[in-house]
Chains A and B, each alone.
Chain A
Amino acid sequence: MPGVPTDGGAVGTVVPFSREPGDAVAAPPVRTIRHGVAPPVSRVYVSFSSGNLLQVACLGPPIPEGGGGRGAQEVAVGRVVEVNLGGGGSGPGGADVEEEIDEAEMRRIQYGSVPAFALLQSRKNALADAAAMSRVPSVSEHAEWWQYVLEYSKTIGSLLGNPDSLPAFMIDDPKTILKDREKPTSLKASWELLEIFFVDKQLKSWLPERFVDWLADYDSLLTKTENTVYRTLTNFQKKLINLQIVEDDPDYWNGLAAALSVGWLDIVVNMLRFHGSYQLDQMDNRETENGLVEAVAVLVSTMPRMRPDLPTGKLGHCCKTRPDFIKALEKWRGQVNKLECSAFWIQCGHQKTRDGLKNLLHIMLGNIKNLTAATSHWLELFASHFLYIRPFTVGFEGMNHLAQKCIQLKPSTDNSGLTGLLGGILSENPEVVLAECTKSFGPWMVTHAMELLTADNDYADMMLHEERPNIGGISLEELHRLVYAQVLCSHSLTWQIAPTYLSSCLNQGLGLLEILLLKQPIQDNRLVLKTLEICRLYELGNVSTNIMKIGGIYHWKHGRKGTGVYWFQQAHDKVRLDRIALQLFENIGKSVTDDSFKVLISTLLYALSFV
């Protein structure tokens, strides 16, 4: 096995492999191949077939002429062995994805994204053609572009959901805090994050609220080991079944504070109703207490939100414009203050209730200490700033500054791909975004997310499309697409969708497509026909002729003369067909007694006459 030449010698040098003791590089695995060819093996040919298959042809010395007098004895003079080198390692998903999504599901996503990708590319080409012809940059068309990308994004986003995991029948237990929904995947979380920040222009004015919604869906994925609001609530839910007096448990109040700080208002109101003072036999004794709890619940449910609408079941008072929101916020804060200063607190008997409710009120007033104590992860603190402290933060610079502050207040060691991704997005660094996608989510994600990054971002557009000499003169976009296409080609179920991606690579794509098609096995006629169909679609006439000729020779040599002739006819291979016709004429002329054999040959000649 050749090692790396140490002095940068000439290309093609074979360098002996020497394993030094104490070498840092581990020895490569050695596989034994059983080929069944009697020694001595005179020649060995090695070549890669489709995907991870290595074909090793072992040939013994040629049998001398006339030595085969025994005829029927089967001695293996040569054998071709296929070695499957695959198994484990780089699949189409990255580290995070492979744990959550199994292979068949990933392939389903890959299949489904092909039509969306192809449509977007054809629209891009149409726009480029129109622009080239008219020579005037069309502003309206460019403005529409983000809508096409949004459509593409929504189509692919819908593939990433997991509708099967939703239980068909859900009996609403009144004591559930967190409803059963479809299990979220980090792939979908990261896709939505990119869509929110890069594509959806309608969202620009209420981006913070949209981020709060995103966090509500995907909080459970932020970290595996550390605490999150979601984990706090699920732990409390487990305890809830056995709790007699809910309001005595500090986890109850912690859960309430946590849910309020990230804006899960419906959960807060629901949980407040678990309070003991609502029970019918307690109502008379704890009237004031109950009144306070109810008052807080009402305040929570009328919190002003800077957004046009809310999904059903969610709480809050929606304000469409800034002046409306400021007015509503002032009024609401005034009500919170009034409650905080009221005299009823003295009459409230239960210490924990008093402290817990006051904590909630301080959160609603935007007290940073309470918010920091209530949240567990810096992303949650980040979201709580949008709700309670700085609801008008728009613009990446402001958000990035805020994010840095939150990271300082709540440093975290276990970072999932999502946190890294968000860091890259907020620091307006497309390189970091792509690097995170590659590391955590794999080549599928990178290839398809590049379209989202370039939707409205000139810098990203330029960075991805400039041709770089250090990678052979191709652009980064093409490089990532080629990597993804290679992953597709390595699996015999997905190689047929690789041409869509290869054809969008302007430099190397077509060349690699030709190589891919020529490497497909020709033993199975159906597969050959599928390969030829791809050749036809991409107008690769010489490739299809070559494949047909190879197929013809294969079938002819293995005794299927009719099929062999058919392939030669399809390839218009006059040379070989003439040679065959000559051979058969001679056969008919010789003393062949078998009438049926004559009939067969004449059938074949009849077929040949249609060249």
Chain B
Amino acid sequence: MADHSSFRRHPHPFSVDLVRWLPTFGSTGRLLAAAVHDPAASSSHIHLLSVSDPSTPLTSLPLPSRATALRCSPSVLAAATTSGSLHLLPSSFDTDSAVSVPSGALFHVGPVRGLDCGGGTGGEEWVTAGEDGRVHVVAGGGDGRVVARRVWEGKGMVGYQAARWASPAEFATGGAGCGVQWWDRRKGDAVVVQCKGIWGHGIVTGMVHSIDIHPSRKHICVVGGSSGTIFAWDLRWPQQPIPLSGVGLDGTAQPVCESEVWEVLFDNYTQSSDIISSASTRILPVMMCSEDGILAVVEQDERPLELLVEPCAINSFDIDPHNPSDVVCALEWESIGVLARGRDTMADE
């Protein structure tokens, strides 16, 4: 089967931690946001880059510390940092009108890795979940005022690593050793269901790094974590998570990777190979990136399709929501990769 995909690697100085597609278009095409850290100068920035030339930033926003989470909504770009602050930038990328919520006793102390937009009545509320065990919902942003409301004070008893909205009133979080939790704001801002997850044979528990929820199947989360584990959690059967990839699991195909799965995203571009009986119980294809340099699409009970096998780690990736055949990824060795997939990306044989 002819492979029409093309992969370009662009060197970008200093550590590129996170990379996201921006919903706006620039004069030369699509735009990217990248969170970059320079260890020698101990400075961190959000760079605005053009896809045609990602090596030179168009503008940049300085951050007080290293970025640990980056997310775009249609009108706002948000970044959370390792000191616990949150920074919101309007999509015009006017650095003067950036709003921030400083770290501290009222917000977070410590890295905030769970960040997502989509809650509230207008879909413009942000959820933040940090390693300090606190969960906040931040509303506003864009008009100059943001209000952070504390949803949960964990007092450090759990450390959250990921968060994702499912609906305007529900979101999911995942953390270190505590599996995934489902929160419902209508039921008093509390965890309504939780699940330990399936981590593979010989592995008791792991750290959740990323959660994704498909916009059209809001009861299913896909979770990526340590030791190459990817599983799906269907709320209708909350104590029976469905393994998609993992070390030493019986019944699934060869695990796609054995190290940390940093990010997972539902992949709209890959057609499910089993279109005929695509009953609602089947998990849609999921793309993942990992520490051992693999970018692959994983499907339930199918062989994973490897898109990239790099000699260095792939720390972050994003699928272009306007054009799902394009994927951008942040490579460990100071570069940004842009993958444009061809027309047929179904797994062969």
- What is the chain A residue whose CB lies nearest that of B176? A566
Q: Using Cβ atoms and an 8 Å threshold, which residues of chain A touch B258? A: 536
CA distance A600 to B196 in the complex (A): 16
Q: Are A530 and B177 in contact (CB under 8 A)?
A: no
A308 CB, min distance to chain B CBs, angstroms: 35
Q: Are A104 and B334 in contact (CB under 8 A)?
A: yes
Q: Using Cβ atoms and an 8 Å threshold, which residues of chain A touch B251? A: none
- What is the chain A residue whose CB lies nearest that of B12? A104
A286-294, A451-459, A601-609 - the one binding chain B: A601-609
Q: Mark A85-122, 1 if CB is under 8 A from B, else 0.
A: 01000000000000000001001100100110000000
A521 CB, min distance to chain B CBs, angstroms: 11
- What is the chain B residue whose CB lies nearest that of A492? B39
Q: Using Cβ atoms and an 8 Å threshold, which residues of chain A touch B259? A: 533, 536
CA distance A52 to B178 in the complex (A): 37
CA distance A607 to B204 in the complex (A): 10
Q: Using Cβ atoms and an 8 Å threshold, which residues of chain A touch B332? A: 496
Q: Using Cβ atoms and an 8 Å threshold, which residues of chain A touch B131? A: 525, 560, 563
- What is the chain A residue whose CB lies nearest that of B333? A111
Q: Are A108 and B157 in contact (CB under 8 A)?
A: no
CA distance A610 to B14 in the complex (A): 40
Q: Are B132 and A560 in contact (CB under 8 A)?
A: yes
Determine whether A493 belongs to the interface, using a CB cutoff of 8 Å to chain B.
yes
Q: Are A493 and B176 in contact (CB under 8 A)?
A: no
CA distance A496 to B291 in the complex (A): 12
B210 CB, min distance to chain A CBs, angstroms: 12
Q: Are B155 and A597 in contact (CB under 8 A)?
A: yes
The prevalent SS among residues of A at the interface is: helix
Determine whether B229 belongs to the interface, using a CB cutoff of 8 Å to chain A.
no
Q: Mark A555-582, 1 if CB is under 8 A from B, else 0.
A: 1000111110110010000000000000
Determine whether B118 belongs to the interface, using a CB cutoff of 8 Å to chain A.
no
Q: Using Cβ atoms and an 8 Å threshold, which residues of chain B touch A104? A: 11, 13-14, 334
Q: Are A533 and B291 in contact (CB under 8 A)?
A: yes
CA distance A491 to B39 in the complex (A): 8
Q: Are A107 and B334 in contact (CB under 8 A)?
A: yes
- What is the chain A residue whose CB lies nearest that of B161? A525
- What is the chain B residue whose CB lies nearest that of A560? B156
A81 CB, min distance to chain B CBs, angstroms: 14
Q: Using Cβ atoms and an 8 Å threshold, which residues of chain B touch A586? A: none
Determine whether A524 belongs to the interface, using a CB cutoff of 8 Å to chain B.
yes
Determine whether B19 belongs to the interface, using a CB cutoff of 8 Å to chain A.
no
Determine whether B285 belongs to the interface, using a CB cutoff of 8 Å to chain A.
no
Determine whether B286 belongs to the interface, using a CB cutoff of 8 Å to chain A.
no
CA distance A525 to B66 in the complex (A): 13
CA distance A480 to B292 in the complex (A): 28
Given contacts A529-B291, A560-B159, contact A603 B178 (CB under 8 A): yes
Q: Are B133 and A562 in contact (CB under 8 A)?
A: yes
Q: Using Cβ atoms and an 8 Å threshold, which residues of chain A touch B133? A: 560, 562
Q: Mark B21-37, 1 if CB is under 8 A from A, else 0.
A: 00000000000000000
B70 CB, min distance to chain A CBs, angstroms: 14
Q: Mark B143-155, 1 if CB is under 8 A from A, else 0.
A: 0000000000011
Q: Are A566 and B205 in contact (CB under 8 A)?
A: yes
CA distance A569 to B179 in the complex (A): 14
Determine whether B110 belongs to the interface, using a CB cutoff of 8 Å to chain A.
yes
Q: Using Cβ atoms and an 8 Å threshold, which residues of chain B touch A597? A: 155
B131 CB, min distance to chain A CBs, angstroms: 6
Q: Using Cβ atoms and an 8 Å threshold, which residues of chain A touch B155? A: 559, 561, 597, 600
Q: Are A601 and B205 in contact (CB under 8 A)?
A: no
Q: Are A533 and B260 in contact (CB under 8 A)?
A: yes
Q: Are B313 and A530 in contact (CB under 8 A)?
A: yes
Q: Are B11 and A603 in contact (CB under 8 A)?
A: no
Given contacts A560-B131, A562-B156, A604-B157, contact A529 B260 (CB under 8 A): yes
Q: Are B14 and A565 in contact (CB under 8 A)?
A: no
Q: Are A111 and B334 in contact (CB under 8 A)?
A: yes
Determine whether B311 belongs to the interface, using a CB cutoff of 8 Å to chain A.
yes
Q: Would you list which residues of chain B between 117 and 156 have a CB under 8 Å from chain A?
A: 131-133, 154-156
Q: Are B312 and A565 in contact (CB under 8 A)?
A: no
- What is the chain A residue whose CB lies nearest that of B39? A492
A273 CB, min distance to chain B CBs, angstroms: 40
A508 CB, min distance to chain B CBs, angstroms: 25
Q: Are A562 and B111 in contact (CB under 8 A)?
A: no
Determine whether B85 belongs to the interface, using a CB cutoff of 8 Å to chain A.
no
The prevalent SS among residues of B at the interface is: loop
CA distance A597 to B156 in the complex (A): 11
Determine whether B173 belongs to the interface, using a CB cutoff of 8 Å to chain A.
no
Q: Using Cβ atoms and an 8 Å threshold, which residues of chain B touch A107? A: 334
In-complex Cβ contact of A569 among B158, B205, B312 (8 A):
B205
Q: Are B159 and A563 in contact (CB under 8 A)?
A: yes
Q: Would you list which residues of chain B between 233 and 267 have a CB under 8 Å from chain A?
A: 258-260
**Residue from the set B82, B175, B178 with the largest chain A CB neighbour count within 10 Å:** B178
Q: Using Cβ atoms and an 8 Å threshold, which residues of chain A touch B226? A: 529
Q: Using Cβ atoms and an 8 Å threshold, which residues of chain A touch B178? A: 562, 603, 607
**Residue from the set B132, B177, B207 with the largest chain A CB neighbour count within 10 Å:** B177
Q: Mark A538-566, 1 if CB is under 8 A from B, else 0.
A: 00000000000000000100011111011
Determine whether B100 belongs to the interface, using a CB cutoff of 8 Å to chain A.
no
Q: Using Cβ atoms and an 8 Å threshold, which residues of chain A touch B161? A: 525
CA distance A600 to B82 in the complex (A): 24
Determine whether B325 belongs to the interface, using a CB cutoff of 8 Å to chain A.
no
Q: Mark B257-299, 1 if CB is under 8 A from A, else 0.
A: 0111000000000000000000000000000000110000000
Determine whether B167 belongs to the interface, using a CB cutoff of 8 Å to chain A.
no
CA distance A604 to B154 in the complex (A): 11
Q: Using Cβ atoms and an 8 Å threshold, which residues of chain A touch B60? A: none
Q: Are B312 and A111 in contact (CB under 8 A)?
A: yes
Q: Using Cβ atoms and an 8 Å threshold, which residues of chain A touch B110? A: 560
A527 CB, min distance to chain B CBs, angstroms: 10
- What is the chain B residue whose CB lies nearest that of A116? B311
Q: Are B158 and A562 in contact (CB under 8 A)?
A: yes
Q: Using Cβ atoms and an 8 Å threshold, which residues of chain B touch A491? A: 39-40
CA distance A111 to B312 in the complex (A): 9
Q: Are A566 and B311 in contact (CB under 8 A)?
A: no
Determine whether B75 belongs to the interface, using a CB cutoff of 8 Å to chain A.
no
B161 CB, min distance to chain A CBs, angstroms: 8
CA distance A555 to B207 in the complex (A): 15
Q: Using Cβ atoms and an 8 Å threshold, which residues of chain A touch B175? A: 562
Q: Would you list which residues of chain A between 472 and 529 have a CB under 8 Å from chain B?
A: 491-493, 496, 524-525, 529
Determine whether B103 belongs to the interface, using a CB cutoff of 8 Å to chain A.
no
Q: Using Cβ atoms and an 8 Å threshold, which residues of chain B touch A529? A: 207, 226, 260, 291
CA distance A524 to B40 in the complex (A): 17
Q: Using Cβ atoms and an 8 Å threshold, which residues of chain A touch B40? A: 86, 491
Given contacts A525-B207, A607-B177, contact A561 B157 (CB under 8 A): yes
Q: Are B111 and A525 in contact (CB under 8 A)?
A: yes
Q: Using Cβ atoms and an 8 Å threshold, which residues of chain A touch B176? A: 525, 562-563, 566
CA distance A533 to B82 in the complex (A): 22
Q: Mark B171-200, 1 if CB is under 8 A from A, else 0.
A: 000011110000000000000000010000
CA distance A611 to B175 in the complex (A): 17
A571 CB, min distance to chain B CBs, angstroms: 12
Q: Are B154 and A600 in contact (CB under 8 A)?
A: yes
Q: Using Cβ atoms and an 8 Å threshold, which residues of chain A touch B158? A: 562, 603-604
CA distance A1 to B25 in the complex (A): 60
Q: Would you list which residues of chain B between 304 and 320 have a CB under 8 Å from chain A?
A: 311-313
Determine whether B345 belongs to the interface, using a CB cutoff of 8 Å to chain A.
no
Please provide the 9 A-B residue pairs with the shortest distance between their CB atoms, ordered closest to farther. Answer: A566-B177, A563-B159, A111-B333, A562-B158, A566-B176, A492-B39, A104-B13, A600-B157, A559-B156
Additional 20 contacts, C-beta under 8 A, given A491-B39, A603-B158: A108-B11, A108-B333, A108-B334, A493-B15, A493-B39, A530-B291, A555-B159, A559-B155, A562-B154, A563-B131, A565-B177, A569-B177, A569-B205, A597-B155, A601-B157, A603-B157, A607-B177, A607-B178, A607-B205, A610-B205
Provide a sorted-by-A list of 6 A–B residue pairs whose CB atoms are within 8 angstroms.
A493-B39, A524-B66, A555-B159, A562-B177, A600-B154, A604-B158
Residue positions of A touching B, CB distance < 8 A: 86, 104, 107-108, 111, 114-115, 491-493, 496, 524-525, 529-530, 533, 536, 555, 559-563, 565-566, 569, 597, 600-601, 603-604, 607, 610-611
